[in-house]
Amino acid sequence: MNEYTYPILFGVIVGTIARFVMLKTDYRQYPTYLHGKVIHIALGFIAAGLGSVAVPAIMEKEFTAVTFLTIAASQFREVRNMERNTLSELDSFELVPRGKTYIEGIAVAFEGRNYLVIFTSLISTLCYLVWNVWVAIIATIICYLIIRKFMSGSTLKDIVDIEQSDIHFDGAGLYVDTIYIMNIGLPARQKEILKYGMGFIITPKNADVRTTIANLGQRQAILHDVSVSMGVFRDSGTPALVPLIKRDLDDGRIGVFILPQDPDVERAKRVIGAVPVLENAIRMPSESKARKKESPSK
Amino acid sequence: MNIEKAVLSVITTNKSKIDGGAPIFLCETKEEMDNVAANLEAILDGISHALSDELYIIVKH
């Protein structure tokens, strides 16, 4: 026992709790019970340890100890690889795949959250050592609030309007409103699709959003989340029954065609609205300097 | 190069419209054509698309 024991212990505990808070299993069911969680809490514990030890090391003038953090960084990049590989492997067995963009987003979140743990432990240990335990507790609470802020990205309902729309066939072509989805040849399939299918039109609220929802990864994420939450009328060997999203090239609206097992329109709208906006799909053409020069009035 | 889509077979009631390439299934009536296409769709794990009333293709996506 020395003067650093309690601060380090404090830092490790709040760091691990922080990781635990960020690790919630929701409709995505990832990470699953129980082993997946154990892996991430263990890694969170290691991250917390690294974060808390860094401060006393610097106070003891052991500056080389900071290089430890670089090891941590490469370690957590490995976490990202691990998550990416696992999810990509599993994706081929999903009836409606997540898509690479969604997977990358999840993997990045896992890596990023470990850094948030290091950050939390570092700040709380620092506050404990410089001031006292009460300041450290306040600092920890502030860190938790920041983490919560980081955790929740925006969802689709913030950026688009979602309207239900009818689906119909024009010859063999399936349409949602005026947006062409695909060609279905067999009359039997067409009947199934008209019976179980549901159509939605998603209208972007501004020009930036238009590019974001045009992203194929973002579209796949919508289909995956809807299929998870609402069920999907599909099996291997019935490739014609596939939920799809196509885009109206004229105005950037997208037509969502889904085959839910649960025919509740309002719920489907809520589910689509709750789909996360993928970080990797966000584009901000309005921030472009070249564009601003063209139209200074905007 | 990876070929992502391929026409796996052609089903038709009008022989004069087609020639060579993919396996071709000739049918007498529209009903027979629907039936053959439905079976082939399940067997080949492809989607049957209608190019016209008398011509279906099975495409692997």
Selected residues 5-34 of chain B with any CB under 8 Å from a CB in chain A: 34
- The alpha-helical segments, DSSP class H, found in chain B are 30-44
Q: Is B55 helix (H, G, I), strand (E, B) or coil?
A: strand
Residue contact A185–B61, C-beta within 8 A: no
Cβ(A66)–Cβ(A51) below 8 Å: no
Interface of A with B (CB under 8 A): 171-172, 182-189, 236-240, 242
Q: Diameter of chain B by CA atoms?
A: 39
Tokens 């990797």 locate to A280
Take residue A71 and report the two structure tokens written for it.
């090891």
In angstroms, what separates the C-alpha of A166 from chain B's closest C-alpha?
22
Residue A298: its pLDDT value, please? Answer: 45
- For A186, the closest of B41, B45, B61 (CB atoms) is B41
pLDDT tens profile B3-50: 788 888 899 888 888 887 788 899 999 888 888 998 888 888 888 999
B38 in contact with A at a CB cutoff of 8 Å? yes
Query: What six digits make up the tokens of A22?
Result: 């960020």
pLDDT at A291: 76
Nearest to A172 among B38, B45, B49 (CB): B49
According to the model, what pLDDT value does residue A29 have?
A: 64
Query: Cβ atoms within 10 A of the Cβ of A6, count?
Result: 15
| Largest interatomic CA distance in chain A | 81
Q: Label residues A133-149 b or e (16+ Cβ within 10 Å = b).
A: eeebeebbeebbeebee
By three-state DSSP, how is residue A259 classified?
coil
Convert A256-282 to b/e letters by CB count within 10 Å (16 or more is b).
Answer: bbbbbeeeeeeebbebbeebbbbeebb
**Chain A residue at shortest CA distance from B36:** A186
CB contact under 8 A, A184 and B47: yes
Structure tokens given for A172: 């063999």
Tokens of A117: 């743990």
B21 three-state secondary structure: coil
Q: Which among A171, A237, A240 has CB closest to B48? A: A240
Q: What does the pLDDT profile of chain A (298 residues) look like in tens digits? A: 788 889 999 999 999 998 888 887 666 666 666 788 888 889 899 999 988 888 888 888 888 887 888 888 888 888 889 889 988 998 889 899 999 999 998 888 888 888 889 999 999 999 999 988 899 999 999 999 988 887 777 888 888 999 999 999 998 899 998 999 999 988 888 998 999 999 999 999 888 888 888 999 999 999 999 999 898 998 887 888 899 999 999 888 999 999 999 888 999 999 999 898 888 888 888 888 887 766 554 4
For A166-274, strand residue ranges (E) read 167-170, 173-176, 179-183, 198-204, 244-247, 254-258
CA distance A243 to chain B (A): 13
Rounded to whole angstroms, the Cα distance separating A45 from A49 reads: 6
Instruction: State the virtual CA torsion across B17, B20, B23, B25 in degrees, nearest 10.
Output: 30
Quote the Cα angle for A131-A21-A19, to 5°.
70
Q: How far is B49 from chain A (nearest CA, A)?
A: 4
Q: CA-to-CA distance for A279 and B59, rounded, in angstroms?
A: 34
Q: How far is A206 from chain B (nearest CA, A)?
A: 33
What does the H/E/C string look like for A223-244?
HHHHHHHHCCCCCCCCCCCCCE
Q: Which chain A residue shows the shortest CA-CA distance from B43?
A: A237
